Amino acid sequence: MQHKRQTQQGFTVVELMTVVVILGILVAIGSVNLIGAQVRAKEAATRTNMHQLQSAVAIYAVDYNGTYPARIEALNEDPVTNLNKMQNPFDRKTGLGAAYDNEDSAQKPAGLITLEITQEDDKPVYRIFGYTSKAQRIQQQERPFILSNA
């Protein structure tokens, strides 16, 4: 009498555990890359805010015969250059102290952009800085990323 041999169906525990380990490794790699991409996107949005502030400073100078604002608050007094709706990309807060401030302010949270006005050779010079997720100045190719008229 011949016995029919049953074919085994399904996966062994070792095969299942191998798949689970491989999936875990892929998820770990993917999540690290995703977090890095989110930070890079927020820092890019901070750079966009820096350019927006630079435009506001230039418009202010045109409107006021080449004079730059002494403090960033002056931009909010002008309806054309008002920055109150500018949003910090890291915490989504808006307004002075959250999205933008003067460079001499004590706090420099992630995503903040700052304005510094100085006199150099009897000429007003502005510098705009942005701050990273680690509350350090934004760098580009290992050099400070600064928007300025100097």
pLDDT tens figures, 4-61: 666 667 788 888 899 999 999 988 887 877 778 888 999 999 999 999 999 999 999 9
Alpha-carbon gap, residue 139 to 40, rounded angstroms? 12
Q: Which domain holds residue 78?
A: 13-148
Q: What pLDDT score was predicted for residue 29?
A: 84
| Distance (Å, whole) CA 128 – CA 125 | 10
Helix locations, the chain, DSSP H: 13-63, 73-77
| Tally of structural domains, the chain | 1
pLDDT, position 2: 67
Whole-number mean pLDDT of the chain?
Answer: 89
pLDDT value at residue 1: 60
pLDDT at 35: 78
Residue 71, domain member (yes or no): yes
Question: What is the number of alpha carbons within 13 Å of residue 11 lying toward its C-beta?
Answer: 8
Taking the C-alpha atoms of residue 15 and residue 8, their distance in angstroms, rounded to an integer, is 14
Residue 64: CB partners within 8 Å, gap ≥ 6? Answer: none
- Interval 129-137 mean pLDDT: 93
Which residues have CB under 8 Å from 17's CB, separation 6+? none
| Residue 89, phi then psi, degrees to nearest 5 | -70, -20
* Domain annotation covers residue 7: no
Q: Judge if pTM exceeds 0.95.
A: no
Encoded amino acid at 129, one letter: F
| Residue 96: C-alpha distances to residues 1, 75, 100 (Å) | 91, 11, 5
